[in-house]
Amino acid sequence: MDITIVGTGYVGLVTGTCFAQMGNNVICVDVDENKINSLKNGIIPIYEPGLELMVKELTQRQALRFTTNIKEALVECSACFIAVGTPMEEDGSADLKYVLQVAREIGRLIDHYIVVVNKSTVPVGTAEKVRNTIEKELISRGVNINFDVVSNPEFLKEGAAVEDFTRPDRVVIGTDSQQALEIMKEIYAPFTMNHDRLIIMDVRSAEMTKYAANAMLATKISFMNEIANICECVGADVNKVRIGIGSDKRIGYSFIYPGAGYGGSCFPKDVKALQKLALEHNYHPKIITAIEEVNEKQKLVIFDKIIGRFGNDLTGLTFAIWGLSFKPETDDMREAASLSIVTKLIHHGAHIKAYDPKAMDIAQNCYFKNFTNIEYVNSKYVALFGADALILITEWKEFRSPDIDEIAKSLKNKIIFDCRNQYNSQRLMQAGFEYYQIGVRTQI
């Protein structure tokens, strides 16, 4: 099938690549000419395990093509997926200007029936806006061309996106058109051969499903972080509490690890957008509001522990940072806990030695480009030399079982602040470390 993907960001690139891998002819469109030229040469703008090699191979076979010309991409396509960004407005709502701009282009250019698929995360009611926008352009052209608008939200995890797309838990399709549904079934058939994972519903319910899913996962994270803070107040150990509640099958172990809060491009934006959506309909979402409030405070819990240990003035102190991305297996630093922690440390006079397997370039060139008292090193152990303490922020695999003796030798002080509660506290204490965790009182 001929498929067009508009937008070559995280969602669009993964979607187009996986469709092409299954034998479809895919054209990906983007207005950024530099990005398109890089993609044509097999250079992708994001880090996602396995994706770059797939893009190179499929591009060489001409199964996957890239262009800035949307007219060219729409000539023969049966389905056009809109996968452009929906950045957050100042009031928390999703900005639909890029989505609607694509809709206008589709309305101006199509000459045959196509299925227009909203892949971007959009508020409930967006499909109707897309439909109205396309119809307005068709009317201005004086033509009558049939089309359908479908909601097909993505549920990709950064760091495992290719696996998530090719082996989905579910494929949600929101449509009231049988013709559009048959095309969507054909597109997704290779991904659902072993088990029928298609969930068909109306468009508005499909749009809501994406927000509800992310809000539920964010709720579990903020709830567990709140429990962690209470545990510390009363002298309980949240690591043991987590095991106690996770053994209940109704709760499970997923997303109940205490830490420095959630980040990335999805949870923060979607929780705020859902809150704004509710307020627009005169409903005050108390739980959704609390999720975000707890998360913002949680990002600085470790910083507060640092201030409690070293005092408010950190001038002359150096801190080794392990991990800058918001989660492992990605270079994405959007809304990462490291942004809050590093910024606070520097503003209080500290010097930073940072290491991250993938995110240092974007940290240096974008997020921390105006900071002078931060240096980037090429190994986790190099970051430790001369540092007054180690701060573990992101739980990359290479940080899971470090050489404790090497850490002890390299640090000025045997002090670790752990945002992810990764290490064996008894072992560290026996080795003479001060070990600060989330949701556990530190014993010195």
**Is 266 labeled as catalytic in the residue annotation?**
yes
> How many other CB atoms are there within 10 angstroms of residue 119's CB atom?
22
Considering the candidates 18, 28, 80, 266, report the single residue annotated as catalytic.
Answer: 266
Residues with Cβ < 8 Å from 286, sequence gap 6 or more?
A: none
| DSSP structure string for 111-135 | -S-EEEEE-S---TTHHHHHHHHHH
d(CA 228, CA 437): 10
Q: Which DSSP category does 88 fall into?
A: B
Nearest CA-CA partner of 262 in 290, 231, 225: 225
- 3-class state of residue 344 by DSSP: helix
d(CA 161, CA 17): 11
d(CA 88, CA 265): 10
| DSSP structure string for 11-66 | HHHHHHHHHHHTT-EEEEE-S-HHHHHHHHTT--SS--TTHHHHHHHHHHTTSEEE
The catalytic site residues sit at: 266
